[in-house]
Amino acid sequence: MERNKMPFIEPGDRTVFKMPKNYFKDFEATLEERLDTLEKEKVSSNGLLQVQTEAKKFKFSMETHRPILYMAAMFVLLLFSISLILNLSSDKTSSSLRLSAEIQTPSAATSVPTAEDYLINSIGTYGITEYYVESEYLK
Amino acid sequence: MEKIDEKELIQMFSDEDQRRKAFSILVKQYSESLYWQIRKMVLCHDDANDVLQNTFLKSWDNLSQFRGESKISTWLFRIAINETYTFLNKERQRNQSNFTDLEDVMIQNLQSDPWFSGDEVALKLQEAIMTLPDKQRLVFNMKYYNDMKYEDISEALGTSVGALKASYHYAVKKVEAFLSLEL
């Protein structure tokens, strides 16, 4: 056999390699401990993973429902605008109606102007002092 | 040790309540043989211990998926070999950045390893084996140290018997050539 050409170490000879006493017994215990730690870590990371999954789900549902949300927002905005326009126009009509009503039924104070009213109105843009100053100067 | 046949053990793997117990049995049954396979590849005891732990942790992760398509020993052996290759490749990369040869570093570490008691000749033999590529080294170790049958090596490595015979033949030639120069 080929291995007989190498007489240095017999086949299966493991004597050159040693290991600590009770190594395999200790190895089992060490492995059990490591496995426990890893399992605990896995459980805690699973909890974190669950939270992350929920967040992802929420994000996903937000993304899928985004067009609907936009449409709803637009609808609300539209309703608000319509109501605003309607309010404004109703204000305008009511004020114009009030104005026309005032024109049609003028009050007693405006219908019969006094001499004083006439004088004040005739001054126009002039100030009342300027009027007196001017009239005195002309004299 | 508790004697449980392979079928029963595989059934225990799929049962979540019994998985841990099955795993303990697995570690008891296979840790020694796997240790020696790994040790012959990485040489140093501490490294072998690390790789063996990683092997069992990986097997624990995949235990529920094991359906018994291959023997438990074969499955574990493949995981161990993959973990060994991963370890060696990482070490190789680490040493490349330091411009050192992994094989030289491993031999140096072996010399100072308190768990190696070989003389100069034994050390030279390890040096000669270290000149082989990883897979050829594995075949050489399985045949030379463990005296395994080619059929069993073939099943474990998924390589044909013919290829294994050729691989071992070339490995022996290389080792002999190295030793004839060095001794």
Regarding whether B178 and B154 lie in a shared domain, the answer is yes
Which candidate from B57, B116, B121 shows the least CB-CB separation from A17? B116
Regarding whether B147 and B113 lie in a shared domain, the answer is no
Regarding whether B123 and B102 lie in a shared domain, the answer is no
- On the question of pLDDT at B126 being above 60, the answer is yes
Regarding whether B13 and B87 lie in a shared domain, the answer is yes
Place of tokens 């501490």: B46
ipTM of the complex: 0.81
Q: Which residues of B touch A30 (CB under 8 A)?
A: 53
Regarding whether B58 and B8 lie in a shared domain, the answer is yes
Regarding whether B52 and B75 lie in a shared domain, the answer is yes
pLDDT in tens, A114-133: 777 776 676 665 566 666 66
pLDDT (tens place) for every residue of chain A, 139 residues total? 444 444 444 444 557 888 899 999 999 999 999 988 888 887 877 777 777 777 777 777 777 888 888 999 999 999 999 999 988 887 777 666 666 666 665 555 455 667 777 766 766 655 666 666 666 655 5
Residue % of chain B over a pLDDT of 70: 98
Regarding whether B139 and B75 lie in a shared domain, the answer is no
Regarding whether B110 and B144 lie in a shared domain, the answer is no
B138: pLDDT confidence band, cut at 50, 70 and 90? very high
- pLDDT, residue A123, reads 62
- Number of A–B residue contacts, CB under 8 Å: 80
CATH number at residue B77: 1.10.1740.10
- pLDDT, residue A107, reads 52
Distance, CA of B75 to CA of B9 (rounded, Å): 14
Distance of CA A56 to CAs A46, A49, A52, A62, A66, Å?
Answer: 15, 10, 6, 10, 15
The number of distinct structural domains making up chain B is 2
Boundaries of domain holding B62: 1-117
Regarding whether B85 and B74 lie in a shared domain, the answer is yes
Regarding whether B177 and B148 lie in a shared domain, the answer is yes
Q: Does B66 touch chain A (CB under 8 A)?
A: no
Q: Which residues pair with A17 in a beta bridge?
A: B116
